[in-house]
Structure 1
Amino acid sequence: MIANDIRIVIAGAGSIGCYAGGCLAAAGKDVIFLVRPQVEAALGEHGLKVVDLDGTEKLIPPERLILTVDPVVAFDRADIILVAVKSGSTEEMAELIGHHAPTTASVVSLQNGVGNAQVLHRKLPAGFTVVSGMVPFNVVQSELDVVPLTVRRTTEGTVLIDDKSGDLADDLSVPGFNVRHEPDMQGVLWGKLLINLNNAPNALSNLPLSAQLSDRNWRLLLADQISEGINVLKANGIKPGKVQGLSPLLLPWILRLPNFLFRIIAKKMLNIDPRARSSMWEDLERGRPTEIDHLQGVILDLAGKKNIDAPFTRRIVASIKQAEGKPLRSHTVEQIRNNLP
């Protein structure tokens, strides 16, 4: 099969789904987006703009986008399915894939959290190839009323997938969306989970990531939370892997550095687009459910199994639960540490 004849389905056209699908479509791949009606209307009228980390812009006009709200149409002749829905929607998406996609399809999870591939594998009929994946970079999506709808990559990194043959990575690698095989995918996912523990503090701070990480009080809160997570994983015999060459085990030490040293040692961490915010901030800002149960919630579940107290993680979860469904506001570190409403 010619690489560009491979039908790639974007199952979940949010920030990551639109970015991945946009890069693939711009490179001439056969891509179909399974979208919500609002997104179908926005993309179908004005197209999609994809902005790479270096500022390179790709505009995919409406006539070059294949869009559908119908899973029957989306999955009919799928070869590769990129699952990019929120973790809480994984089971529902697995049901749709199982009913409508050929069992020869490869299903790749590009989601936050550590258990989505297992959910897909458990829910899908025999025959499907399920692959874990990890997107290390941040993508910011414009509001739906921005013309054209724009997805902007704000940090660097290479997408990793658990594809032992390497063929799948080759089929998916295009400019702006580089993909490679990772032999320790589960370790990488645990490492990314520790890094993603900042999604919630960033959302609660209501600050851009660069501004939040420049504030030592927020860094100390994050360091305490990651240290707690590391101890819980260790007690459960879980070894987190490096993410883009960085061991998450070093993060608490780096985050606790005084500002002048942090700016020197963590220059790369701060060298991000000033507009970048976490996906959880976007969820709160748009009134959507968050993925807190699939990030901090996993740490709390593991802590419970070993009767370990995880007070910082509990306070973060409580603060997010209190913030869900309410107008977005800025929290202080003191409010979160004391779990004040």
Structure 2
Amino acid sequence: MRIAVIGAGGVGGYFGARLAAGGNDVMFVARGAHLHAINEHGLRVNSALGDEHVIPASAVADASEVESAELVILAVKLWDTEAAATQIAPLVAGGAQVMSLQNGISKDELLASRFPREQILGGACYISAVIDSPGVISHDGTLQRLVFGDYGDAASPQTLQFLQACRASGIDAQLSDDIELELWQKYVFLVGLSATTAATRLPIGPILANERSRQLLLEVMQEVVTLGRKRGVNLDPSYADHRLEFCAGLPPTMTSSMYHDLIRGNRLELPWLSTTVAAASADLGLAAPRNATIADILAPFENPVRI
């Protein structure tokens, strides 16, 4: 497949590299030193599942430089979504599907305000990967899963082609017939992992090992479940408990992208995570004190001021 990956960070870089190594025509959109390193030395992935070095790897600075694509994978930070949507508009007009692997539950609503719903492929990813150095992606652990699906009644030929491309590239990929539910299930886990690893500045292992921080993780996730169910999503009432069990099987060193952004002094996606949960819950008359407190604790770091 001809695939454009908009944002070659941990998520886009990892899955894009695997797809390129699997024989697909992948064009990366990256920035700065990372862009230069990819074009000069290729894109390298260091992983317990096997290292990958894509040489040559094609990368450009702007999606408007991509001539054509059958699928656009959106993996930029959430605050860059509007700008990225403008850049990829010609590709979508040319028939490309667009799949966001971004965080949050509002990403596809934004895309649907710009593009035909039938060209939007709902997607969720489960992975811990970051840019280790320019041109190098580091994958923590062995979890690397994609779940995606059309918003219509049946999977399109392009969606089925992408599923085959993923599996041929060694990516754990699965089709979902209820992608909205899948995105909320991912959101429960994502908010919990992001909130607790960022607030404690610790990976998941020590959080689970301490009774009080483990309870905090559970209650953060339960507030997301309660919100989703109030909004009509068919989440199991005990889903947070299941996710806590799932967390116990993760590598103890696993963190979150928000943790890495915090440690590096970068902008946080907090407004789309715990802040959204707290505000949306309040709007519906629900209490979400754990997420509200997390949002308050991390608020000074949301847009860090360099002194």
Alignment of 1:150-299 (within 5 A): 150-156=137-143, 158-163=145-150, 164-165=155-156, 166-197=160-191, 198-240=193-235, 249-252=238-241, 255=244, 266=245, 269-299=247-277
**Residue 41 of structure 1: aligned partner:** 36
What whole-Å deviation, never above 9, does each CA across 1:150-192 have from its counterpart, x for those lacking one? 3314242531111413333223433332322100110011111
- In structure 2, the CA distance between the partners of 1:136 and 1:254, relative to structure 1 (3 Å rule), is closer
**Residue 319 of structure 1: aligned partner:** 297
Does the CA-based 8 Å contact 1:210-1:276 persist in structure 2? yes
**Residue 244 of structure 1: aligned partner:** none
**Residue 261 of structure 1: aligned partner:** none
Residue-pair matches, total: 298
Does the CA-based 8 Å contact 1:154-1:273 persist in structure 2? yes
Correspondence 1:8 to 2:7: no
- In structure 2, the CA distance between the partners of 1:150 and 1:303, relative to structure 1 (3 Å rule), is closer
What is the CA–CA distance in structure 2 between the aligned matches of 1:253 and 1:108, rounded to whole Å?
Answer: 27
Does the CA-based 8 Å contact 2:225-2:239 persist in structure 1? no
What whole-Å deviation, never above 9, does each CA across 1:58-117 have from its counterpart, x for those lacking one? 1223xx10011132222x211110011122221211111114654301111111111212
What is the CA–CA distance in structure 1 between the aligned matches of 2:242 and 2:163, rounded to whole Å?
Answer: 34
- In structure 2, the CA distance between the partners of 1:114 and 1:284, relative to structure 1 (3 Å rule), is same
**Long gaps (5+) in structure 2:** none
- In structure 2, the CA distance between the partners of 1:273 and 1:221, relative to structure 1 (3 Å rule), is closer
**Long gaps (5+) in structure 1:** 1-5, 241-246, 256-265, 328-341
**Residue 149 of structure 1: aligned partner:** 136
What is the CA–CA distance in structure 1 between the aligned matches of 2:102 and 2:13, rounded to whole Å?
Answer: 13
Q: Secondary structure at the match of 1:301?
A: helix
Normalised to the residue count of structure 1, the TM-score between the two structures is 0.79
Q: 1:323, CA displacement in angstroms?
A: 2.9
**Equivalent of 1:134 in 124, 142, 150:** 124
Correspondence 1:73 to 2:62: no
What is the CA–CA distance in structure 1 between the aligned matches of 2:36 and 2:303, rounded to whole Å?
Answer: 25
Q: 1:296, CA displacement in angstroms?
A: 1.8
Residue 69 of structure 1 aligns with an amino acid whose one-letter code is: A
- In structure 2, the CA distance between the partners of 1:248 and 1:31, relative to structure 1 (3 Å rule), is farther
What is the CA–CA distance in structure 2 between the aligned matches of 1:291 and 1:299, rounded to whole Å?
Answer: 13
- In structure 2, the CA distance between the partners of 1:271 and 1:41, relative to structure 1 (3 Å rule), is same
Does the CA-based 8 Å contact 1:104-1:127 persist in structure 2? no
Q: Secondary structure at the match of 1:154?
A: strand
Does the CA-based 8 Å contact 2:219-2:290 persist in structure 1? yes
What is the CA–CA distance in structure 2 between the aligned matches of 1:293 and 1:32, rounded to whole Å?
Answer: 30
What is the CA–CA distance in structure 2 between the aligned matches of 1:114 and 1:134, rounded to whole Å?
Answer: 10
- In structure 2, the CA distance between the partners of 1:312 and 1:170, relative to structure 1 (3 Å rule), is same
Larger radius of gyration between Structure 1 and Structure 2: 1
Residue 234 of structure 1 aligns with an amino acid whose one-letter code is: R
- In structure 2, the CA distance between the partners of 1:173 and 1:149, relative to structure 1 (3 Å rule), is same
What is the CA–CA distance in structure 1 between the aligned matches of 2:47 and 2:4, rounded to whole Å?
Answer: 21
RMSD of Structure 2 on Structure 1 (CA):
2.5
Does the CA-based 8 Å contact 1:191-1:248 persist in structure 2? no
What is the CA–CA distance in structure 2 between the aligned matches of 1:253 and 1:159, rounded to whole Å?
Answer: 19
Tell me the percent identity.
25
